[in-house]
A and B are shown apart, each in its own frame.
Chain A
Amino acid sequence: MTKIKTLADLVKLRDELQSKQALADSADNAESIIQIKVGMGTSGIASGAKAVIDFLVEALEKRNIEANVSQTGDMGYSYAEPTIEVKKPGKDPVVFGFVNVQKADEIIEKYIKRDELVEGIIPVNYHTIDN
């Protein structure tokens, strides 16, 4: 990565990253992509998040679904670990709780492929700093 030597450098880098993100998020775009985050804090990992992320990466590839799978920290729902967030382009992100490999499979087949709802959705229950 290039060095950040001034505030302007940082602003430029941030803007680039943000527009890349916006492209990935928007519905009809060559670069839009399904984004999946797996909660990999200590409690997530202790509940089996590692197996879930490994499964997701492998299964999505095998089934020819383009998606970006990444790890993130604790989403806060310790009671429902492992938790994953699925964001389809143009849609609000959806958080699923109690996700084991079987559940992850169901999420791919139903929610990701066919937009069918799957049980175990955790509703948003907090404000962010921007709203």
Chain B
Amino acid sequence: MTKYKQIRIALNNCGVIDPENIEDYIARDGYMALGKCITEMTPQDVIKEIKDSGLRGRGGGGFPAGLKWEIASKNHADQKYVVCNADEGDPGAFMDRSVLEGDPHAVLEAMAICGYSIGATKGLIYIRAEYPLAIKRLKIAIDQAREVGLLGKNIFGSKFDFDIELRYGAGAFVCGEETSLIHSMEGLRGEPTIKPPFPAEKGYLGKPTNVNNVETYASVPIIIRKGASWFNKIGTEKSKGTKVFALAGKVNNVGLVEVPMGTTLREVIFEIGGGIQNGKKFKAVQTGGPSGGCLTEKHLDTPIDFDNLVAAGSMMGSGGMIVMDEDNCMVSVAKFYLDFTVEESCGKCSPCRIGNKRLFELLERITKGQGTMDDLQRLRNMSNVIKDTSLCGLGQTSPNPVLSTLDNFYDEYLAHVKDHKCPAGECKDLMKYFIIAENCVGCTACARVCPVGAITGEKKEAHLINSETCIKCGACMERCKFDAIIIK
């Protein structure tokens, strides 16, 4: 398997089958894995197979899936639950949506397999209401599976019953955190609680609950069909199999990418992704969403896996990968993510609620050219406090975009603070539009296009931009045919 960089495991059927037709799925060996588990394997065998495969959770943390199933199986209760986390809240991520829209039965089949192995009869898919098409296709898939008896009572003529329902999220990022998600499903406020107890002990309605991500489940049927030893040959020593990334940003081939663990960032961005748009220079790649960090040129040859990305100062996250070029200001990038976190913090604990807001304000000052050297130190100190003292994963990781840009792009922070300049030319407050008098022929084109009337001058004479009124929209620069307008 060397000809291509990509292997489609989780995306095996995506873009191949008609997701609204169960026969298409069955023709591609669909539900064979469930049949094999129920007919030929004990629940312990199934758990062992998943453990041996080395499959780790694809929703962010990378916790071994088989081990999680084993814990849930050993916690005895009259009712247990299998939950699929389809909240997918990272900005720019669309892997889970694509899997659900393209191959919904794979997730249903895997949830039933999980139910069989841990002793649960009920499955719940927590999906954001902003995914109407995925919801529609899941509903169709559930109905079709029920109709032929692949969900419901006595599946494959056994004693095993399993059924699945949908639960809708309203799109709060924190509801992707598993304890929050469970509270939200219970009809409570979507706020996290301290772990332990983990959901595998006390989850939905206080019962043992196994929570996994969409892509984690989507990998399960193939592992059962092809065997753990097939799966664990793909990937690196500690991260097995493949990972789907939603490649986005300033890269030519934006799209879904599924590569074996251990593929380098360079291969993903430059070979599969086709390099940077418009021949610009690569600057950074953001992985792990609001919890992750920005990696640079020097990380391009790092093999992607759970541990390497953490060591490099970012993380795998759920698979968002946003590529940035020379026109992206890294302070602004950090500010963008902080803005998101401030908006999405549930407010339950003060380090996250107040700390992130203060971080955001500091970044805002820096992008306005009002920052000081003390502010840079304060950014770092406060980031560490927030990480160490927040209650849930949101606050514990939210300063990562700040810390990683401080580490990798300190010069850019210095330029903002000391020289009051934004090298990438993105921070509007630090830019000024000027007219070079020698180049200006006085054609008045700029004055006519300026939406706020900031440009004055007589016909056939050099014009002038009033920087007080200028809103830095750049309209004049685009219009000028004589290269007379510059940014300083």
Contacts and interface: CB of A to CB of B under 8 A. Distances in A.
Contacts of A30: none
B183 to A, nearest CB: 28
Contact of A76 (B5, B252, B255): B255
A129 B102 contact: no
B27 A72 contact: no
Given A76-B255, A78-B256, A129 B7 contact: yes
A128 interface: yes
Interface string B1-32: 10111111101111111111111001101111
Given A125-B4, A127-B1, A5 B32 contact: no
A78 B254 contact: yes
Contact of B148 (A2, A6, A129, A131): A2
Contact of A6 (B15, B17, B36, B157): B157
Contact of B12 (A21, A83, A128): A128
Interface in A17-51: 17-18, 21, 37, 39, 41-43, 45
A32 B102 CA distance: 25
Contact of A74 (B5, B15, B20): B15
Contacts of A2: 148
A77 to B, nearest CB: 5
Question: Chain B contact residues (Cβ within 8 angstroms of A): what range?
Answer: 35 or more
B226 A76 contact: no
A75 B258 CA distance: 12
Interface string A115-131: 00000000011111101
A129 B17 CA distance: 15
Residue among B147, B148, B150 with most chain A CB within 10 A: B148
B241 to A, nearest CB: 11
A85 B16 CA distance: 9
Contact of A1 (B7, B18, B148): B148
B166 to A, nearest CB: 17
Residue among A11, A74, A75 with most chain B CB within 10 A: A74
Given A7-B156, A76-B255, A129-B9, A71 B18 contact: yes
Interface in A42-91: 42-43, 45, 70-80, 83, 85
B193 interface: no
A39 B15 CA distance: 6
A73 B4 contact: no
A72 B256 contact: no
A114 interface: no
Given A10-B26, A10-B35, A72 B4 contact: no
Contacts of B94: 42-43
Contacts of B148: 1-4
Nearest to A75: B15
A80 B103 CA distance: 21
Given A73-B101, A77-B255, A127-B8, A14 B32 contact: yes
Contacts of A78: 254-256
Across chains A and B, which 6 residue pairs bring their CB atoms closest together, nearest first? A73-B102, A75-B15, A126-B6, A76-B256, A17-B27, A78-B255
7 contacts: A14-B27, A41-B101, A72-B18, A73-B19, A73-B102, A126-B6, A128-B8
Given A41-B102, A42-B133, A77-B253, 8 more contacts: A4-B31, A7-B156, A41-B101, A41-B133, A70-B21, A73-B15, A125-B6, A128-B12
Interface of A: 1-7, 10-11, 13-14, 17-18, 21, 37, 39, 41-43, 45, 70-80, 83, 85, 124-129, 131
